[in-house]
Amino acid sequence: MFMIDRARGVRTVAAVLTLTLVLAGCASSRPEAPPPPPPKPTVPELRVGVTLDSPPFAMRQGMEMQGIEVDFAMRLSSVLRRPLRVIALTWAELIPALLDGQIDIIMSGMTITRLRSMRVSFSDPYMDSGLSVLIRANLASSYPTPAEALGGSLRVGVTRGTTADTFINENYRSGQVFPYLSNSDGVADLVPGRIDAFVTDAPIVAWFASAHDGQLVPLIRPLLTQEQLGWGFRPQDDVLRQAANDALASWKAEGFVERTIKRWIPLYKAR
């Protein structure tokens, strides 16, 4: 009995080994699965910095950001085929955020100046502008032009770090100067009479005057300064700046720049 069982066991083991070798041979003869395709490269976002208290360049209406620069940013994002992210910052935060790599472009109605050009590379200009005065309605008849307003002894507000801030501190001596963190803060004090006038870019003056019709009056002509507006880039981002300049030149030729500006400022002309 023992010898019979042992023989059966040997035959069983041999059968199992044979089956294992056959299966192994089949497995080794199968073609290997192809490697998975490499992941598609992620397209970097186009991060655009704006200041939302600078209408009509950029502002919030309801839950959306809107304005001249937002329209430009959307079009540039489409041209570059990069997803757009618009980042709201205060005016004082714009250049530091650009240089620290938090944003890629400043698109916020920024004036091209020699001082800023020491830190920021600008695009070609897209619009001519200049400084003007927003004044309380009860004072407007006494000061019909921006220059005459600054010839009086008014309490004048400006936003810190702007060309208006520089101009007023260099040229206004007859009255008091009140610096603010934003245009909106200054206008909020102008309406109830805590200051008499506010100096900023002419398109912004016109916009706030329209929003406070009957309370505030825009003193536009002649402008206090002649300025050009453009977009700011990091000095080393020559490729992005050139791509933006190429897009801007195309937009000017096809009329997109002028149409966009006229949509928000009907009386203004593109550069």
Q: Which CATH number fits domain 131-219: 3.40.50.1100, 3.40.228.10, 3.40.190.10, 1.10.3720.10?
A: 3.40.190.10
Task: Examine the pLDDT at 21 and tell me if it is beyond 50.
Answer: no
The whole-number average pLDDT for the span 242-266 is 96
The whole-number average pLDDT for the span 8-34 is 51
Predicted structure pTM score: 0.81
Q: How many CB atoms lie within 10 A of CB 116?
A: 17
Buried b (16+ CB within 10 A) or exposed e, 168-187: beeebeebebbebebbbbbb
Q: How many CB atoms lie within 10 A of CB 215?
A: 16
CATH assignment, 46-128+227-264: 3.40.190.10
Q: How many CB atoms lie within 10 A of CB 149?
A: 25
In this structure, the dihedral spanned by the alpha carbons of residues 172, 190, 112 and 240, taken in order and rounded to 10 degrees, is 160
Task: Examine the pLDDT at 255 and tell me if it is beyond 50.
Answer: yes
- Secondary element (H or E) of residue 199: strand 197-201
pLDDT at 2: 38
Q: Which two tokens stand for residue 139?
A: 């004072």
pLDDT at 271: 53
Task: Examine the pLDDT at 107 and tell me if it is beyond 60.
Answer: yes
Instruction: Locate all alpha helices (DSSP H) within 160-237, ordered by sequence.
Output: 163-171, 183-190, 202-211
CA gap 166, 179 in Å, rounded: 11
Task: Examine the pLDDT at 32 and tell me if it is beyond 60.
Answer: yes
pLDDT at 37: 72
pLDDT at 1: 42
Asked whether 146 and 131 are in contact (CB, 8 A), the reply is yes
Of the candidates 139, 132, 136, which has an alpha carbon nearest to the alpha carbon of residue 191? Answer: 136
Residue 188, SS3?
helix
Average pLDDT, the chain: 89
In whole angstroms, how far apart are CA 226 and each of 58, 112, 153, 260, 264?
A: 21, 11, 24, 21, 20
pLDDT at 19: 44
| Domains 46-128+227-264 and 131-219 in one fold | yes
Give the confidence band of 50 by pLDDT, cuts at 50, 70, 90: very high
The whole-number average pLDDT for the span 172-196 is 96
Output helix, strand, coil percentages for the chain, rounded to the nearest 5. Answer: 45, 25, 35
Task: For residue range 61-104, list pLDDT tens digits in order.
Answer: 888 999 999 999 999 999 999 999 999 999 999 999 999 999 99
Residue 222, SS3?
coil
The whole-number average pLDDT for the span 174-192 is 96
CA gap 246, 243 in Å, rounded: 5
pLDDT at 29: 54
DSSP assignments along 71-117, one per residue: HHHHHHHHHHT--EEEEE--HHHHHHHHHTTS-SEEEEEEE--HHHH
pLDDT at 43: 84
pLDDT at 237: 97
pLDDT at 16: 45
pLDDT at 8: 53
Task: Examine the pLDDT at 24 and tell me if it is beyond 90.
Answer: no
List the domain boundaries for the chain: 46-128+227-264, 131-219
C-alpha 160: how far from chain center: 19
The whole-number average pLDDT for the span 12-24 is 46
CA gap 250, 8 in Å, rounded: 89
The whole-number average pLDDT for the span 120-149 is 97
